[in-house]
Amino acid sequence: MSSVNSVNNFQNYSNLQNFQSRQNKNAVTFGQYSEPVGGKDEPKPEKAVLALLLLQLAASGLEKASRWCGDKLMAGKEFAPAQDVVKVAQRMVGDNKLNVDVQFVNPHNIRKFPEALRDSLVKVARGENAFYNDAFKLAVAPEKKPSLILHELGHAINSTKGKLLKFMQKSRIYKAYVPTAVLMATQMADESGIKSDFIKNNAGIIGFLSFLPTILEEGLASLRGIKAAKNVLGKAANLKPLKRNYLAAWLTYLIAGLGVGVASKMAVLSGGNPNNK
């Protein structure tokens, strides 16, 4: 699920700023962004500065919203007793012929897992994360929050459903590079004489769209978990807490996508001015 780490999504800005200050030596830093120091012939940057301020505000608003969703998820109740969750998990594995080891982690059993995974398992043991690892064919959830496993098994099922879903699952690794990539695309377009206005004007939506595969794949993983719970436990089960928890987790991904959009727009506004070349 990794949603608890979503706050990290917003730390990309600082990396971005470092990149830009390296790009533009002729700059003073003001708050978190660089403002070009222009000669008389350069356009006044007030408009860009105002836009950047607003985007900075939006970014911190998104960060707060993400933390709020993360807290909701942490405080969320389990929808069913652990043995019912295990029953659903077993059915998901069986019905989909998954070759996946399903484990519930507590502080005492971390040592039995491969060493490469132990750092990430500490958070799982604390109840702060859950994950599916495709390389290790392992799905883990906290022992105290077993219901997270149904979402992780949703990922495991997605990974068996063809190349597109598999790509969508892995595409998140590019997220941190998107704003810089959008900025570089505008600079390369400028340098080769191609009009870069389209990229500049749509940097926000381009950034968001780059994260959309992740948002969709996360939602699909949750829907698979909810559907399996409904099928196995029947109408008697109260799925509302499960749906609420999964919605909170999904919102952190939606917010992260908006964050990539905001960061991309900021990158272009603060570093993509062709007059700065």
Interface ranges with Zn ion (CB under 5 A) = 1, 218
Please count the residues of the chain.
277
Closest CB 238 distance from Zn ion, rounded Å:
23
Helix (H) or strand (E) holding 154: helix 148-158
Q: Closest CB to Zn ion among 19 and 136?
A: 136
Closest CB 234 distance from Zn ion, rounded Å:
25
Q: Closest CB to Zn ion among 147 and 270?
A: 147
Closest CB 156 distance from Zn ion, rounded Å:
11
Q: Indicate the burial class of 217 (C-beta count within 10 angstroms; 0-12, 13-18, 19 or more).
A: buried
Closest CB 56 distance from Zn ion, rounded Å:
29
Q: E strands of the chain, at which residues?
A: 27-30, 33-36, 101-105, 131-133, 138-142
Separation of CA 259 from chain center: 9
The string over 164-182, giving b where at least 16 C-beta atoms fall within 10 Å of a residue's C-beta and e elsewhere, is ebeebbeebeebbebbbeb
Closest CB 1 distance from Zn ion, rounded Å:
4
Closest CB 249 distance from Zn ion, rounded Å:
7
Distances (CA, A) of 194 to 20, 189, 190, 197, 237: 22, 5, 6, 9, 59
Q: Closest CB to Zn ion among 130 and 233?
A: 130
Closest CB 10 distance from Zn ion, rounded Å:
19
Q: Closest CB to Zn ion among 1 and 189?
A: 1
Q: Closest CB to Zn ion among 190 and 218?
A: 218
Neighbours of 96 (CB within 10 A): 16
Tokens read off for 27? 């700059």
Q: Closest CB to Zn ion among 6 and 20?
A: 6
Neighbours of 199 (CB within 10 A): 21
Residue type present at position 171:
S
Q: Which of 132, 113, 121 is nearest to 221 (CA)?
A: 132
Q: Closest CB to Zn ion among 4 and 185?
A: 4
Tokens read off for 277? 């070349």
Residue nearest Zn ion, Cβ-based: 1
Q: Are strands 138-142 and 101-105 parallel, antiparallel or unpaired?
A: parallel
Closest CB 25 distance from Zn ion, rounded Å:
41
Backbone angles phi, psi at 81, to 5 degrees: -60, 155
Q: Closest CB to Zn ion among 35 and 134?
A: 134
Specify which residues 139 forms β-bridges with: 102, 132
